Chain A
Amino acid sequence: MKNRIRTLRTERGWTQADLAAHLDVSRNSVNAIENGKYDPSLPLAFKISELFGLPIEKIFQND
């Protein structure tokens, strides 16, 4: 699954560690999600969506 998390994060000037702190996950998790190596659970996807103020489908797209 593709996502725009890296773009949205850098637009806000956040590091992966900053985003990890906002989401209460590890930096490894953020890195894996950004690289498309790990798909987050629905609760985490909603948390990401709320954090960036965008609907889930605007952040995650099917391959």
Chain B
Amino acid sequence: MNRLSARSWRLLAAIGFWLLLGVAFATGGTIGLLLGYASAAWLAAFSLGAWRRQDEFERAAQKFSWVFGGLFGLLGSLALLPLILQPDVLDPLLGLIESALGGSERPPHPAAPAIVLGAIWIVLGQLVGFLVCWVGWHVTKQ
């Protein structure tokens, strides 16, 4: 495994994470919750492996992208919050998350879908910001 490149580790991190998360949502209940934790642990372990194998140029790109892309992504997601709060947009999204959370033995708290959506919205904004900055970094450094 030590011979795999940083790119391979990143790929394994993403594939394993989404696979485990998908199974977690499909399974639901306590097993689903445990699989959800396992997906996070998988992502963390393989991301760390990828970080340790990449060179300083790529590390600089990722640091820059997380700081500035993460910050502007966060601000962007907050700026777009009024849009997502429109009933036409919000209700279908909350319904989708509510159905995903419905796999557990106990029904979720009424506020749970909104909390989950709030977290996803912020993380999504940061990920988009990261991606834009990361691509921008590589384009401008060529």
Contacts and interface: CB of A to CB of B under 8 A. Distances in A.
Interface size class of B (residues with CB under 8 A): 10 to 19
B57 A29 contact: yes
Chain B interface mostly helix, strand, loop or mixed?
A: helix
Contacts, number: 33
A28 B140 CA distance: 12
Contacts of A38: 57, 60, 141
Interface string A22-45: 001110110111010110110010
Chain A interface mostly helix, strand, loop or mixed?
A: loop
Interface string A2-30: 00000000000000000000001110110
Interface of A: 24-26, 28-29, 31-33, 35, 37-38, 40-41, 44
